Amino acid sequence: MTQRRKFLKQGAAAMMSLPLLSFDHQKEWSLTPLQTNAPKDETYWGMVRKQFPLKEGQTYFNNGTMGPTSGYALDKMFHHMMHWNVEAATVDYKNGSGPELLTGYFPYEELRTKLGNIINCDFKEISLVQNATFGMNYVGMGLDLKKGDELLNTNQEHGGGFGAWQLLAKRKGCVYKQAIMPEPANDPQEIVDAIFKEVTPKTKIIAIPHIISGFGTVMPVKAICTEAKKRDIFTILDGAQCVGHVSVDVKDIGCDAYYSSLHKWLLAPAGSGLLYISKEVVGDIWSTIASYNWDNKDDHGFRLMQNGTGNAGLMAGYDAAVDFFNTIGQDVWLARVKELGKYLRDGLKEIKHVTFYSSTNEELAAGITTYGVSGMSGPELQKYMWEKERLQPRTVGNEMLRHSVHIYNSKAEIDTALRLIEGLG
């Protein structure tokens, strides 16, 4: 026991004496390889794959749950946390170093501006939040709703996409309703009609996904928001699956509020989220958490991100993930996700024993495809893929498999999945 304590003590001392190295000291993570005019072919995307510390010989197809973070962003986060712990005594909190120690009291205008450029809004309309669920609750809890007001979701919400509205309905005596979505959804107008079938003169809120988590359906949100505005209905979109997955232009969409989890498709560290509320309506949203700037009327986005002490190292990783995205380029990034999604769907369409649960209309599809295979449950299919080729998609319910593809995946990996599924016939 004495020897073990001595070993641990010596090991800890040795670690503290080391310079602040990369989390993977055998590799120097950099954006430089991405800054190329080379054709965006399979060779280029193979190079992009090397920017992620994913284990070789395994294939990750579950980005819809959690996206792997690039080595570059992880390195920035690691360095930040180590540096400001080692240099703690040199920090002058009152004179400029505060944002390097903690979050929740600072506006982070530069990062919010970068995000505003991605979703097309002013940075003051953006709050940095932990995830989509936080965003939904900040809006829901901040609205002045009354007994009898109707709140409309869909029957295909993510578990975190309906909680705030059900809570509000119970707490304030509102009426909670769900529109029944088609399955699979292949006609945009059918979706719009399903939403407005449930709308009445008492409907005050339409809160729906931009992309349905379980099936990957890209909803016709612009048409829905346009019609809702005519009826003076507040619209809030669950974009948890969207930023970094499909184009998000909140001004073109015309929603009142939008929230997203950037640890999914933008590949930021877990805990990186955003909330957009249009400047036209944000003054009517009460602060949910109050701190020094809870009543800031100049920067409402900052007002709604008064969270107290948080992890500034995480914010460094968040910012680096946005830089990683911007270096590849939004158009190139999104086109690759779409290309791989279509490549998978096209292959599945050729296999007779496959049933689609997600849309096969490319207008309503992107990087998520949900399907089933005759004679196998979803969990059985997931286990089969892992045991045969170390492929990891995710089950949805008992019958379905949700298959997410992203820029770190390859067509060769998709071919392997298709070969396994074909062999089950």
CATH of the domain at 337: 3.90.1150.10
Angle between helices 411-422 and 330-349 (to 10 degrees): 20
290 and 235 belong to one structural domain: yes
**Residue 306 resides in a domain:** yes
**Residue 101 resides in a domain:** yes
Which CATH number fits the domain that encloses residue 314? Answer: 3.40.640.10
Q: What pLDDT shows up at residue 26?
A: 62
280 and 373 belong to one structural domain: no
410 and 286 belong to one structural domain: no
User: Which of these three, 278, 304, 324, is where a domain ends?
Assistant: 324
Nearest to 121 by CA among 248, 207, 263: 248
Q: What pLDDT shows up at residue 348?
A: 98
Helix, strand, coil percent values for the chain (each to nearest 5): 45, 15, 40
Q: Give per-residue pLDDT as tens, 17-47.
A: 444 545 665 678 999 989 988 889 999 999 9
Q: What pLDDT shows up at residue 22?
A: 57
SS3 state at 178? strand
User: Which of these three, 324, 348, 369, is where a domain ends?
Assistant: 324
Indicate the pTM of the whole model: 0.92
Q: What pLDDT shows up at residue 87?
A: 86
The residues, ordered by sequence, that sit 6+ positions from 96 with a Cβ below 8 Å of its Cβ are none
Nearest to 403 by CA among 343, 363, 352, 316: 343
144 and 228 belong to one structural domain: yes
Give alpha helix (H) positions in 93-187. Answer: 98-101, 109-119, 132-142, 163-172
Q: Give per-residue pLDDT as tens, 118-175.
A: 999 999 999 999 999 999 999 999 999 999 999 999 999 987 788 889 999 999 999 9
65 Cα distance to chain centroid: 8
Q: What pLDDT shows up at residue 23?
A: 60
**Residue 99 resides in a domain:** yes
**Residue 353 resides in a domain:** yes
Q: What pLDDT shows up at residue 101?
A: 83
**Residue 161 resides in a domain:** yes
- The number of folded domains in the chain is 2
174 and 273 belong to one structural domain: yes
417 and 353 belong to one structural domain: yes
Q: What pLDDT shows up at residue 15?
A: 40
User: Which of these three, 278, 297, 324, is where a domain ends?
Assistant: 324
- Mean pLDDT per block of 10 residues along the chain (425 residues) reads 43 42 69 90 95 96 96 95 88 77 90 98 97 94 95 91 90 96 95 98 97 96 98 97 98 98 98 97 93 91 92 96 98 98 98 96 97 96 97 94 98 98 93
Q: Give per-residue pLDDT as tens, 386-416.
A: 999 999 999 998 999 999 999 999 999 999 9
315 and 174 belong to one structural domain: yes
317 and 375 belong to one structural domain: no
**Token pair for 319:** 């910012």
| Whole-number Å distance between alpha carbons of 276 and 205 | 16
102 and 212 belong to one structural domain: yes
SS3 state at 98? helix
Pairing of strands 257-261, 273-277: antiparallel
**Residue 65 resides in a domain:** no
Q: What pLDDT shows up at residue 3?
A: 47
5 Cα distance to chain centroid: 43
Nearest to 25 by CA among 57, 67, 71: 71
**Residue 205 resides in a domain:** yes
Nearest to 337 by CA among 264, 407, 268: 407
The residues, ordered by sequence, that sit 6+ positions from 269 with a Cβ below 8 Å of its Cβ are 69, 73, 74, 77, 263, 314, 317, 318, 321
**Residue 224 resides in a domain:** yes
Beta bridge partner(s), residue 218: 211
242 and 313 belong to one structural domain: yes
305 and 369 belong to one structural domain: no
| Whole-number Å distance between alpha carbons of 89 and 102 | 15
Range of the domain at 122: 94-324
253 and 169 belong to one structural domain: yes
